[in-house]
Amino acid sequence: MSQPTFETAVRTQGVNMFFGEGESRVTALKQADFDARRGELIMLVGPSGCGKTTLLSVIAGTLTPQAGTVEVFGQRLDGLGQEDLTTFRRKNLGFVFQSFNLIPTLTSLENVTVPLLIQGVSQREAEERARIVFEKVGLKGREDSRPNSLSGGQQQRVAIARALVHEPPLLICDEPTSALDKDTGAQIMEMIRTLSRAPNRCVVVVTHDQRIFRFADRIAEMEDGRIRRVVDDPRQLDTTHL
Amino acid sequence: MYRLALNMLFGDRAKLAMLLCGLAFSALLMAQQTSVFFGIMSWTYTPIYNIRSTIWVSDPMVEQANDAKPMRDTELGKVRSVDGVSWAAPLHMSILQARMTDGNFKLITMVGIDADTFAGAPAQLSQGRIEELRLPNTVIIDEWGAQLMGRTVVGPDGKTKTVPLKPGDTFEINDIEARIVGICKVRRAFTGGPFVYTTYDRAKAYNLEARRTLSFMLVEPRDGVSASQLCDRIERETALKAWTTDTVIWDWSDRSLAKNTFWWFWKNTGIPFSFGTAVALGLFVGIAISGQTFYSFVLENLKYFAAIKAMGAGMATIARMLLVQALTAGLIGFGLGAGMAQAIGRVMIEKGMPPFVMFPQIFWATLVLVLGISLVSAIIGIIKVSRVDAASVFRG
């Protein structure tokens, strides 16, 4: 692995993660070394059970590894307590989930305001800022719609707006296109790639969806809890086992 | 975040309706049953309420207002001689059978009052004059009794109806005629029988077999002498029992006959247990329904709470959100339940059955209990959410 540079956004070294004890112990990450740069969109790919989601959780600070170091935008996460990790996530991370996780009883605009309200921003200011992001993701006019009345693509746009509204440097996307058709998935990925071009932003995407590999700047292939290799061109991947 | 929490709550109308039903039912049951309980208990000391006097004097073995142990008439002279007594009047109270003109019998509470002073007479007469009690064989009956003891007649349409008794009507007590000369408004008695007022001497005549007929003595202290002081003197000098007659439940003294009557019924009847069971049932049903519904609401929103946690909300923020949701539901549920209890109470008060007394303290106690139910529900939800791993949001 290369030494950290000012361009490094995320860096993990020798990360070990296992679940359970004794005979039921399952190793999810084995000496996982990974890095992502500012301004890039990097994908984590690999077969089911290879540790993609666990590594993503470690980078997001929702899981603490048993060994190894995790550094995100210069901040070591592996030594932080739960409260500090929560504060870190609040300020630095945006999430796009596989099943959107939009609260169905709130309007789309209210869903987008959630990260700002968590930060303590006033309701009025949160709504003003949410409207601006809403327009950026192409959903102007659908602010008062409930998530269930939107199409899958529109719901994912709302989720992206929610992930971006507090301008986090790191965007974590977990299977962002798995619930979308090909064209909608491509549109969403185009949007995510554009967002990743901000100089101080990094986007990490976990996916199985080979149709979107072309949107990645780099692809990290995982196998058995570690990074097998990192490629710049998806054609370099052996996709038969993915 | 609180507004979002409320929007989450109000957005799920089915769950909210269920939650409110549970809380409202619980509040209704607790408030209504407690009010009926206090209403029934207030009936136990009805004689003190109806027969206004500053001090009641009784046989020393008397424990409560419905427990008259008749004394000799000579005791009246002893009480009158106590320093500080302005006046003292005899009072007779007994439960007798009245025979109606149609041959039917009804239980009545006979009250014999002093014919000279009319001390202990009903405060309000809707028909007749109190002075007419001085006429031979006359009585005054309460409105409830007039209705209860009324004549049943068959109308031209073939339907039966009750014609209430009125001045001029008669009935018999121990084969002695009782002619009604007035109808009075008084509070009903715990025993259910109507009050029939007559003079003390005539009450003795109606009680053919009674050797002693002085049930109580009504006493008024002279100016400058407190009721409590005079009670002490009467008890010291006559060896009788003297009671004050304060009936304000939250403020009555240890000497209060009403208070002693209340607690006698509390200790010696199953009334507190049966009503307490109903109130406890309301509480448990509230906890069960509301706890279960709120828990189900939390379960349904668990993945969203996990997402909110992942986005950086601390457990304290989420706990406050759940508390706001549960307590808001609690306040609305209480409003609905207490409102219904009040509405039912109004109907009860108009009909006079069952008795209904909703003290402000009942309102506040019900509010505290309903909010307690909400708090328990919220705590169950908080425990559940606190156990959810933020990383679970990445597991599909």
pLDDT over 90 at A228, yes or no: no
CA dihedral A139, A140, A142, A144 (to 10 degrees): 130
Model pLDDT for residues A87-132, shown as the tens digit of each residue: 898 889 998 887 788 899 899 999 999 999 998 899 899 999 999 8
**Residue B330 is inside which H or E element, if any?**
helix B315-351
**B312 part of contact set with chain A, CB < 8 Å:** yes
Q: Look at residue A89 and tell me if it is in a domain.
A: yes
What ipTM goes with this model? 0.84
Within-domain flag for A2: no
How many alpha carbons lie under 13 Å from residue A206 in its C-beta half-sphere? Answer: 27
| Domain limits for position A237 | 8-241
Supply angle C-alpha A63, A65, A66, rounded to 5.
Answer: 135
Separation in Å, CA B286 to CA B330, B362, B384 = 10, 17, 20
Check residue A240 and give its pLDDT.
Answer: 64
Of B7, B304, B317, the CB nearest to A101: B304
Q: Is A110 on the interface with B (CB under 8 A)?
A: yes
Domain harbouring A191, CATH code:
3.40.50.300
DSSP state of B139: E
Share of residues in chain A with pLDDT > 90 (%): 12
- Angstrom CA distances, A6 to A38, A72, A76, A123, B316, stand at 9, 12, 15, 36, 36
Q: Name the H helices within A93-228.
A: 108-118, 123-136, 152-164, 182-196
A227 belongs to a structural domain: yes
pLDDT at B139: 95
Mean pLDDT along residues A158-175: 88
The pLDDT value recorded for residue A138 is: 80
Q: Is residue A1 part of a domain?
A: no
Contact: B393, A106; criterion CB under 8 Å:
no
Buried residues in B299-333 as b, exposed as e (16+ CB within 10 A): eebbbbbbbbbbbbbebebbbbbbbbbbbbbbebb
A149 touches B at CB < 8 Å? no
Does the beta carbon of B7 lie under 8 angstroms from any beta carbon of chain A? yes
Q: Please report the pLDDT score of residue A238 as a whole number.
A: 67
Judged against a pLDDT cut of 70, whether residue A242 lies above it is answered with: no
Q: Does residue A65 carry a pLDDT above 60? A: yes
- Measured distance CA(B156)–CA(B141) in Å, rounded: 29
pLDDT at A2: 45
Domain assignment present for A3: no
Q: Is the pLDDT of residue A4 over 50?
A: no
Per-residue pLDDT, A164? 84
Per-residue pLDDT for A236 more than 80? no
Percent above pLDDT 70 for chain A: 94
Residue A203: inside a domain: yes
Top residue of B311, B315, B317, B395 to mutate, by most chain A CBs within 10 Å, is B311
A4: closest CA of chain B, how far (Å): 27
| A123 contacts in chain B (CB < 8 Å) | 3
Low-confidence stretches of chain B (pLDDT < 50) are none
Q: Judge whether A221 lies within some domain.
A: yes
Instruction: Identify which has the larger pLDDT, A239 or A10.
Output: A10
Inform me whether the C-beta atom of residue B303 falls under 8 Å from chain A C-beta atoms: yes
Q: Per-domain residue ranges for chain B?
A: 2-42+271-394, 53-246
Write out chain B residues lying below 8 Å of A62, CB-based. 310, 389-391, 393-394
Q: How many domains does chain A have?
A: 1
> Residue B396: its pLDDT value, please?
55
Q: Give the pLDDT band of residue A239 (cuts 50, 70, 90).
A: low
Integer Cα distance of B317 and B305 in angstroms: 11
Residue A185 within a domain: yes
